[in-house]
Structure 1
Amino acid sequence: MAQPDDSSTTTSNNSATCRFQDDFELYSFEIVRAMKQKEKSYHPSQCLKCQIYITPTQRETLISSMINLSRKHNIKRDTLFMAVNYLDRFLKVVTVTEDCFELVGLTCMMIACKVEECQPPKMEEFLTSCTHYYKKAEMKRLEIIILNYIDFRLSPPIAPHFLEYIIHFHQHHYHQFSQQTYIELVNIANQVLLKILPTYRFNHIKSSILAASAFEYAKIICGYATSVCSYPYQDRVTFITISTTVDHLRDFFEK
């Protein structure tokens, strides 16, 4: 019986690897370029600028309660970040009073769950989490209002999405760390993003910048204090912004 030709198999595998690398270069660049393009219209910078009754501290308290709710109901990380994006985009264009602010946050969470979760919590489960008393009819009516004001645009490019891309890009181009180290870095970076999510001082920074900065800060935490890596969506201004944001993260966590 003829034996398989090991050299031809190796050549075939190498060709397949090269094709995969070429595909990664082509499609990952197109995907991140589309995400960056979407980010411009989905980024609710300084969302409290027009608010009369809502303060950064109140926003922080609400988002912290949304984080706790997501843990209670095993809601996915991406769902939570999407809900906060809906909330901030709504706050940017509509003046909200204190008495309905909590309901706005929970309704944004409910909308995000309908988009992202396979088995979203029921409306009653959200309402029982409120410190105020609200009716189902109020939540349903507010859901329609929020959807109209955010133009039914429900797929924002959130920071965890950019972080996933950054990790793949870094592994593909730099080969700097072991697989286990990359897992550790992405876990730390995700924790950084979650920790700063309620904090208004980071609201003006785009998701792509926050993701890159969280990854760079995770490297510092793990003792890999190297210069900021280069990313496809990065120009000189972006490089400086990432470096500055890393400094802000160090100040925030190490003060």
Structure 2
Amino acid sequence: MELYCLESDSAVLALPDPNILHDDRVLQSLLTIEDRFLPQCCYFQRVQKDIQPYMRRVVAGWMHEVCEEEKSNEDVFPLAINYLDRFLAVMPTRKSYLQLLGAVCMFLASKLKDCRPLSAEKLCMYTENSITPRELLDWELVVLGKLRWNMASVTPNDFIEHIIRRLPIPKEKLAMVRKHTQTFIALCATDDRLAMNPPSMIATGSMGAAVCGLKLDHSDQRLNRDNLTYLLAKITNTEVDCLRACQEQIERVLASSLQQGRQCGQDSSIRGGSKAREQQDQSSTPTDVRDVNL
């Protein structure tokens, strides 16, 4: 009898484990170890001489577009940004290597979090072949060495399920709140001013912004801004004032992002990304990323 392996076009994900989500020790362990995976310093002042904050924002935006175009797992982009920040905090890097570093970080994060990791060849295509697969593989070892092979970072996404199940959110709204929270977390990852905040604070601030934005307090007063902030702070053992300031900063970043989007009048898809598979000579790297490389 012949056995056939039937491959599905869509990823098959495991269901959440209630034994993990309902055990408070898991959340406490995440809170205990999360600081180990923060950048060691504000690297623009202490480490990096050639790279400026706007360059990091440009490359982070490009990384997000690649992950969206490839429909990567939601955990890939925040994890890749964590690798990027941790590397830049310990290793002076020339700006001409910044996009290569971003590609390597996505390469590593997708191996850890995606059932179908990004290939070296495809990542090179998204840089308009400004890097080679050999360079990417060589830099993979450099990044692993500088991060001491400590790649299982705690990211804001790790806190989402632990927080959301402790909030009085109607079941029919859970999926919407979860999706909006993930969007806020991805937005935070593109902004260097939030890079030094602990993942738990980014997660709670993002969820607070998501719940307030969806106006769920209309159906439950426990979800109004003040009550929600106190409840979120209690869940993650965070200072209320710090959490409130973080949420306000996240909302400002969102407002700024929306304003820039209206000014540009462009969508967030990669230029030529969907056509690059059919026409290899078409650029798939945004102009601003190429400017950083110069």
Same fold per TM (> 0.5)? Answer: yes
- Whole-Å separation in 1 of the counterparts to 2:83 and 2:20: 31
SS at the partner of 1:48? Answer: helix
Q: Which residue of 2 aligns with 1:234?
A: 237
Cα offsets for 1:17-58 (capped at 9, x unmatched): xxxx9x678x63211121122211101152433111111111
- Whole-Å separation in 1 of the counterparts to 2:255 and 2:114: 35
Q: Which residue of 1 aligns with 2:26?
A: 31
Q: Which residue of 2 aligns with 1:207?
A: 199
Q: Which residue of 2 aligns with 1:5?
A: none
| TM-score, normalised with respect to structure 1 | 0.82
Q: Which residue of 2 aligns with 1:217?
A: 209
What is the 5 A alignment of 1:132-143?
Answer: 133-143=130-140
Q: Which residue of 1 aligns with 2:126?
A: 129
Q: 1:203 to 1:28 in 2, by over 3 A?
A: same
After TM superposition, which residue ranges in structure 1, 4 or more long, deviate above 4 angstroms?
Answer: none
Q: 1:250 to 1:123 in 2, by over 3 A?
A: closer
- Whole-Å separation in 1 of the counterparts to 2:118 and 2:135: 17
Cα offsets for 1:49-100 (capped at 9, x unmatched): 3111111111111111111111222211101111111111000000110111
Counterpart among 31, 41, 46 of residue 42 in structure 2: 46
Counterpart among 105, 110, 113 of residue 113 in structure 1: 110
Q: 1:226 to 1:134 in 2, by over 3 A?
A: closer
Shift of 1:206: 1.1
- Whole-Å separation in 1 of the counterparts to 2:43 and 2:152: 18
SS at the partner of 1:35? Answer: helix
* Partner amino acid, structure 2, of 1:62: V
Whether the 8 Å contact between 2:49 and 2:92 is mirrored in structure 1 is yes
- Whole-Å separation in 2 of the counterparts to 1:218 and 1:109: 26
Counterpart among 79, 84, 89 of residue 82 in structure 1: 79
* Partner amino acid, structure 1, of 2:196: H
Unmatched runs of 5 consecutive residues or more in structure 1:
1-20, 171-175
Q: 1:132 to 1:57 in 2, by over 3 A?
A: farther
Shift of 1:105: 0.6
Whether the 8 Å contact between 1:38 and 1:156 is mirrored in structure 2 is no
Q: Does 2:88 match 1:91?
A: yes
- Whole-Å separation in 2 of the counterparts to 1:249 and 1:39: 20
- Whole-Å separation in 2 of the counterparts to 1:147 and 1:70: 21
- Whole-Å separation in 2 of the counterparts to 1:208 and 1:47: 21
- Whole-Å separation in 1 of the counterparts to 2:169 and 2:111: 37
- Whole-Å separation in 2 of the counterparts to 1:161 and 1:141: 30
Indicate the percent of aligned positions where both proteins have the same amino acid.
Answer: 16
Whether the 8 Å contact between 2:77 and 2:186 is mirrored in structure 1 is no
SS at the partner of 1:77? Answer: coil
Q: CA RMSD in A?
A: 2.1
- Whole-Å separation in 2 of the counterparts to 1:148 and 1:97: 18
For these two proteins, the number of residue pairs brought into alignment is: 227
- Whole-Å separation in 2 of the counterparts to 1:111 and 1:124: 14
Shift of 1:109: 0.6
SS at the partner of 2:237? Answer: coil
* Partner amino acid, structure 1, of 2:44: L
Q: Does 2:196 match 1:190?
A: no
- Whole-Å separation in 2 of the counterparts to 1:141 and 1:214: 36
Shift of 1:131: 4.3
Counterpart among 69, 84, 89 of residue 72 in structure 1: 69
Q: Which residue of 1 aligns with 2:268?
A: none
Whether the 8 Å contact between 2:87 and 2:147 is mirrored in structure 1 is yes
- Whole-Å separation in 2 of the counterparts to 1:185 and 1:72: 23
